[in-house]
Chain A
């Protein structure tokens, strides 16, 4: 379970998160919606420990453990996964090498045994088939020359391999074609269960038709201004953020 209380954070001296309170109980999927620049990605970076984002007040715990004091890699080992809004390219680093290094790093951090090349390949192939990803993507450089949608799919592949207990998906749906949206959603839904929670950041209600959230939160100007059930997303789609703003 992810619990955030009174979280404020700034970057370069500018306060972006202005007191976030949020709870994602284990086994639940919550959605975060909000206008551009409201702080959604910032929240994901603060939770995953990106440099330059300074927490000025508040707490965040994952399954009872204070994650804000941890290094990014420790948070990953603790089960936190971030699917990036803009996946990063690593020229020359083979996707397979990267995935295996990451998987083994996380497994090591969790006290599990590392996988050898063969075991890894078997697992990776399985997961890729499920995501309709061609196998040659393993050989290519990480995200290098990948199309927008391919990059997003590669993020979901990583999630499927790393088996996090808490995944933050930052606009994983943007750039996906209709079929890909379905495939990726299936990938996320396949992970749903009593030991998995997710925070799905999106601009589009459509994604939430596939990944039906337990709760929807609206983030505006660094604060959660409204929370509700899946119907809230439909409301927003119909009326825009102005209605929420007026109410808040």
Chain B
């Protein structure tokens, strides 16, 4: 049997049993009634004790959303979503900080354990008092804002960050404690009516993270959020806002796994980044939501709007993403390069296996002079997976000497999958330079055999070769994430071993 055939079969034999993190935590939920209307928007806002301006803001978004239609231009197919058949608010009841892990809901702890989260981080995640004051030895300290379902269960390292004047909290807390910052920046990068999903998010977002790094501060640790989608049929509408003031620097990690379930789940997050003069924001994502079973049943619909504004001169925003999960991924982390000499980067690995569909890429808007962008996209398709890179590089008339370099590589495993590259380039500036390179390749039989002759199993060989293919992107990830991501790549392409 030729290697390619076997690889196809290996890949095809993947079942939901290979999704190691499919489980559901049973924590008492407080639900808003099913459906979406103005009352629900008011309910959410009231639950969160929001100021009037924010309720107004949400209602405006809702009004716009009602007039909008779901986008259809992406190369993804899915049955119509019934927006009235979903819950838009769910919160775990437990609110007071436990004294030790013994007091934490054991279900929650089990969830963390299955996620492979180290004990210390579990404590932090669960909001155990005093946890996280001393970072584990030899590790870069990580501050975690755990989004368990919709409400942040815990935030950590607050004190240490507080000393530097850094604000890292849930967006709900930010609304209460730092309303001026929120009011000033919320929607300033992704306006309420930006697109259908962003409008929906603006109307009903329940929680997310808020970060403010003051002038000249280099954030002493990686900031991290573990996203979890937990309640059945609860759409997730995270809202993240990160502001890096002049000369500051921050690295933010977003990682997610989700429980297995049959119904498709909608996830429509919005992430807004703002970088002022000489500020740098590095935003890294490892996305591993339930992709659906081998027949394509179930799985998360991931419709995300992520955008960063390089407002200041010499500012830099760097997106790195490893997308292995979700049934559908619709995601274009973008950079608005406004400040002169500002830099935008997009490093992406997207895997589609079985019946997964990914339409992902980036948009780089060059507005200021000498702005620079780099795009490196690695798409891997296996099974019946469909992988589309969709990118836009727009260079405005004033973006003199702007530069873009784009590299899109596709790796195909098997004959039933597809890879597509859709690069749009709009250049209104003669002095700008835009370069685009694209390749498509397959894992060669001799590569697999070479690895297997050296003792690696077929899966390990595929994993190793795929990791090699993605190296340029993986090396952009913070160390801890890189290891996790490498494992994920292999798991996502693993057959039922044996």
Determine whether the beta carbon of A51 is less than 8 Å from that of B469: no
What is the chain A residue whose CB lies nearest that of B471?
Answer: A92
Residue B427, interface by CB 8 Å:
no
What is the chain A residue whose CB lies nearest that of B461?
Answer: A73
Determine whether the beta carbon of A90 is less than 8 Å from that of B2: no
Q: Which residues in A have some Cβ–Cβ distance to B below 8 Å?
A: 48-52, 71-73, 75-77, 81-82, 84, 87-93, 97-98, 101-103, 105-106, 109, 141-142, 158, 162
Question: In the complex the two chains form, what is the Cα distance from A25 to B18 in whole Å?
Answer: 44
Given A91-B468, A92-B471, A98-B464, A105 and B446 contact (CB-CB distance below 8 Å): no
Residue in contact with B456 in the complex, picked from A48, A50, A73, CB distance below 8 Å: A73
The 3 closest A-B pairs by CB, nearest first: A92-B468, A93-B468, A105-B455
Question: In the complex the two chains form, what is the Cα distance from A52 to B468 in whole Å?
Answer: 25
Residue B160, interface by CB 8 Å:
no
Determine whether the beta carbon of A90 is less than 8 Å from that of B465: yes
Determine whether the beta carbon of A93 is less than 8 Å from that of B465: yes
Question: In the complex the two chains form, what is the Cα distance from A103 to B456 in whole Å?
Answer: 9
Q: Which of B433-447 contact A (CB under 8 A)?
A: 444-447
Question: In the complex the two chains form, what is the Cα distance from A106 to B452 in whole Å?
Answer: 10
Determine whether the beta carbon of B446 is less than 8 Å from that of A93: no
CB distance from A53 to the nearest CB of B (A): 10
What is the chain A residue whose CB lies nearest that of B470?
Answer: A92
Question: In the complex the two chains form, what is the Cα distance from A73 to B470 in whole Å?
Answer: 24
Question: In the complex the two chains form, what is the Cα distance from A88 to B444 in whole Å?
Answer: 10
Given A50-B449, A52-B2, A105 and B460 contact (CB-CB distance below 8 Å): yes
Question: In the complex the two chains form, what is the Cα distance from A77 to B446 in whole Å?
Answer: 19
Determine whether the beta carbon of B467 is less than 8 Å from that of A92: yes
CB distance from B271 to the nearest CB of A (A): 29
What is the chain A residue whose CB lies nearest that of B441?
Answer: A91
What is the chain B residue whose CB lies nearest that of A82?
Answer: B453
Determine whether the beta carbon of A93 is less than 8 Å from that of B460: no
27 contacts between A and B (CB under 8 A): A48-B453, A50-B453, A51-B1, A51-B3, A51-B6, A51-B449, A52-B1, A73-B457, A75-B453, A88-B447, A88-B450, A90-B451, A90-B465, A92-B469, A92-B471, A93-B467, A97-B464, A98-B464, A101-B456, A101-B464, A105-B454, A106-B454, A109-B455, A141-B468, A142-B468, A162-B454, A162-B455
Residue B472, interface by CB 8 Å:
yes
Q: Which residues of A contact B447 (CB under 8 A)?
A: 88-90
Size of B's binding interface in residues, CB under 8 A: 27
Q: Which residues of B contact A90 (CB under 8 A)?
A: 447, 450-451, 464-465, 468
CB distance from A61 to the nearest CB of B (A): 18
Residue in contact with A101 in the complex, picked from B6, B453, B460, CB distance below 8 Å: B460
Determine whether the beta carbon of A93 is less than 8 Å from that of B455: no
Q: Which residues of A contact B468 (CB under 8 A)?
A: 90-93, 141-142
CB distance from B419 to the nearest CB of A (A): 17
Question: In the complex the two chains form, what is the Cα distance from A246 to B288 in whole Å?
Answer: 67
Question: In the complex the two chains form, what is the Cα distance from A52 to B4 in whole Å?
Answer: 11
What is the chain B residue whose CB lies nearest that of A144?
Answer: B468
Q: Which residues in B have some Cβ–Cβ distance to A below 8 Å?
A: 1-3, 6, 444-447, 449-458, 460, 464-465, 467-472
Q: Which residues of A contact B458 (CB under 8 A)?
A: 73
Q: Which residues of A contact B445 (CB under 8 A)?
A: 51-52
Q: Which residues of B contact A92 (CB under 8 A)?
A: 467-472
- Beyond known contacts A73-B455, A90-B464, A102-B451: 12 more, CB 8 A cutoff: A73-B457, A87-B450, A88-B446, A90-B447, A90-B468, A92-B467, A92-B469, A101-B460, A102-B454, A103-B455, A141-B468, A162-B454
Residue in contact with B464 in the complex, picked from A49, A51, A77, A93, CB distance below 8 Å: A93
Given A51-B1, A101-B464, A105-B460, A158 and B454 contact (CB-CB distance below 8 Å): yes
Most B CB atoms within 10 A — which of A73, A97, A158? Answer: A73
CB distance from A153 to the nearest CB of B (A): 16
CB distance from A16 to the nearest CB of B (A): 17
Q: Which residues of A contact B465 (CB under 8 A)?
A: 90, 93
CB distance from B322 to the nearest CB of A (A): 15
CB distance from B337 to the nearest CB of A (A): 29
Determine whether the beta carbon of A51 is less than 8 Å from that of B455: no
Question: In the complex the two chains form, what is the Cα distance from A84 to B452 in whole Å?
Answer: 13
Question: In the complex the two chains form, what is the Cα distance from A97 to B471 in whole Å?
Answer: 12
Q: Which residues of A contact B469 (CB under 8 A)?
A: 91-92
Residue in contact with B2 in the complex, picked from A51, A71, A91, A109, CB distance below 8 Å: A51
CB distance from B457 to the nearest CB of A (A): 5
Question: In the complex the two chains form, what is the Cα distance from A97 to B315 in whole Å?
Answer: 35
Given A51-B445, A90-B450, A92-B468, A76 and B455 contact (CB-CB distance below 8 Å): yes
Q: Which residues of A contact B464 (CB under 8 A)?
A: 90, 93, 97-98, 101
Q: Which residues of A contact B3 (CB under 8 A)?
A: 51-52
Given A91-B469, A101-B460, A72 and B452 contact (CB-CB distance below 8 Å): yes
Q: Which residues of B contact A101 (CB under 8 A)?
A: 456, 460, 464
CB distance from B64 to the nearest CB of A (A): 45
Most A CB atoms within 10 A — which of B452, B455, B458? Answer: B455
Q: Which residues of B contact A49 (CB under 8 A)?
A: 452-453
Determine whether the beta carbon of A102 is less than 8 Å from that of B455: yes
Determine whether the beta carbon of A72 is less than 8 Å from that of B470: no
CB distance from B415 to the nearest CB of A (A): 16
Question: In the complex the two chains form, what is the Cα distance from A236 to B130 in whole Å?
Answer: 81
Q: Which residues of A contact B457 (CB under 8 A)?
A: 71, 73, 105
Q: Which residues of B contact A50 (CB under 8 A)?
A: 449, 453
CB distance from A10 to the nearest CB of B (A): 14
What is the chain B residue whose CB lies nearest that of A72?
Answer: B452
Question: In the complex the two chains form, what is the Cα distance from A52 to B453 in whole Å?
Answer: 15
Question: In the complex the two chains form, what is the Cα distance from A105 to B445 in whole Å?
Answer: 20
Q: Which residues of B contact A84 (CB under 8 A)?
A: 450, 453
Q: Which residues of A contact B2 (CB under 8 A)?
A: 51-52
Question: In the complex the two chains form, what is the Cα distance from A50 to B472 in whole Å?
Answer: 30
Q: Which residues of B contact A89 (CB under 8 A)?
A: 447
Given A51-B6, A105-B460, A73 and B446 contact (CB-CB distance below 8 Å): no
Question: In the complex the two chains form, what is the Cα distance from A131 to B427 in whole Å?
Answer: 54
Q: Which residues of B contact A48 (CB under 8 A)?
A: 453
CB distance from B254 to the nearest CB of A (A): 25
CB distance from A110 to the nearest CB of B (A): 9
Q: Which residues of B contact A87 (CB under 8 A)?
A: 450
CB distance from B247 to the nearest CB of A (A): 34
Question: In the complex the two chains form, what is the Cα distance from A71 to B454 in whole Å?
Answer: 12
Question: In the complex the two chains form, what is the Cα distance from A93 to B445 in whole Å?
Answer: 16
CB distance from A158 to the nearest CB of B (A): 7
Q: Which residues of B contact A142 (CB under 8 A)?
A: 468
